[in-house]
Amino acid sequence: MKKVLFGLMGGLFLFGSVVQGADFSWHHSGISDLGQDTKSWHKLYLNDDIVFEGDTEDSNETIISPVEPTRQNNVTLEDAGGSFSLVDLTSHDFNSGTATWTLSTDEIMDSVLIGTNAGGTVTISITEANAIQGKPYFIYNNTGQTLNFKTSNGTGTSITNGNHSINYINDVPDIVKIYEG
């Protein structure tokens, strides 16, 4: 049996036994902070949730849960400084209309976008000059209609009502959808 460390932005999660085979079993045994001295792996394959715990061990965690993909999906994060947040959220009520919601410079920095209450097909648009290449967006379409997500000069993608999608901005720049469900 091996001890396994999983690191992200300075903190490492220490797990107990890893059972090798068709499935991985993780047994949480504590949290360690190794500062800047972290190990890295070429690839990390997970078959269960990733749980991020803050400084205090309590019931408040961030959990990423994978689902069975329907095709090969690759996301490349550029080698750049800075960080992005998975918790910044903004929403827009289309007031039963069919308008385009052009994200403000503050809204562009949010990673979670929610559209609600549309009277027909609506669009979320990012001004091409403000598009951040590689930035991920998590969209929840609660409009009652089809929602398009694109840059101002791009073709983008569409998201079915009631679905969540994971998207990113490519180098064109335009929106690329990597998951919807």
Q: Residue 26's pLDDT is what?
A: 42
Residue 83 domain flag: no
| Same domain as 101, residue 26 | no
| Same domain as 107, residue 57 | no
Residue 146's CATH number: 2.60.120
| Same domain as 109, residue 56 | no
Residue 82 domain flag: no
pTM of the model: 0.55
Q: Residue 24's pLDDT is what?
A: 39
Residue 71 domain flag: no
> What is the number of domains present in the chain?
2
| Same domain as 95, residue 47 | no
Q: Residue 126's pLDDT is what?
A: 96
| Same domain as 173, residue 94 | yes
Residue 70 domain flag: no
Residue 139 domain flag: yes
Strands of 80-121, DSSP E: 89-93, 100-102, 112-116
Question: Along the chain (181 residues), what's the average pLDDT of each consecutive run of 10 residues?
Answer: 40 38 41 47 63 75 72 61 62 93 91 93 95 92 96 95 94 92 91
| Same domain as 154, residue 93 | yes
Q: Residue 80's pLDDT is what?
A: 56
User: Which residue segment(s) compose the domain that 139 sits in?
Assistant: 89-180
| Same domain as 93, residue 46 | no
Q: CA–CA separation, 125 vs 149, rounded Å?
A: 6
